Amino acid sequence: MEPGLFGVATASKYQRNMKTRKRLLKAKAMEGKVVFATLFFITILFGMSGCKGKEPASDTAKLSDWKTQVDNHISSFGHRNWILIVDKAFPAQNTDGVINIDTKDNLQDVLSFTLQQISASTHVKPLVYTDKEFAYLNSEQVSAIDEYKNARAEILEKYNPRVILHDSVFVKIDKASKLFKVLVLKTNEVIPYSSVFIELDCKYWSSEKEKTLRDAMKTNQSDR
């Protein structure tokens, strides 16, 4: 082979090698871009998943939350503690002994649940109080008040509620909260004087038994 032809063949082979190398480099570059894009896409998905996990609690979660809190308080409460199921405008009390929970639910549902949980307990029973003013509300003042009264009467029927003036409630709560915890369950109710106040009493010890015990103690002392 002539020297000139050898040089041409060598140059041609060199060019082919360079083209092959460029194709390989280009393929590797494309592969790197694909890997990067895949990793970027996965990162976005995980980020979206993380954000989704931080969404505000649903209404169902909030509902179960106040019910759980009520259960916990009933378990720890005892004789002389109070639970108030109140309308939306009931004022927040300025005392350390009062625990406030905004249920964001309607009053009668909160009342029914609370009474059921108290009745199901082994240690406390409810002494129920209602506002005297409530009985004097009429349909001209509050629409559908008669239906509301009937529904509430069914809930409270077996608890023999005691009727007291609204302002006297604050006197009782102020006195009780200085020594004993008071739980206030605020609701979305906008009917005035619709609040219900529950004083907890000992389920396994009645006032009659207490009187008999005290009388026996007095007799025993007089015999000495």
Along the chain (224 residues), what's the average pLDDT of each consecutive run of 10 residues? 48 58 60 55 53 44 78 97 97 90 97 98 98 97 97 97 94 92 97 98 94 92 70
Domain 59-204 class in CATH = alpha beta
User: Nearest 10 degrees: CA dihedral of 63, 65, 71, 73?
Assistant: -120
Measured CA to CA, the distance from residue 55 to residue 153 in angstroms comes to: 40
What's the pLDDT at 93?
A: 85
Measured CA to CA, the distance from residue 46 to residue 213 in angstroms comes to: 68
What's the pLDDT at 59?
A: 43
Amino acid in position 21: R
Amino acid in position 99: I
Q: 43, 82, 49: which is closest to 171 by C-alpha?
A: 82
- pLDDT, tens only, 71-105: 999 999 999 999 999 999 999 988 889 999 999 99
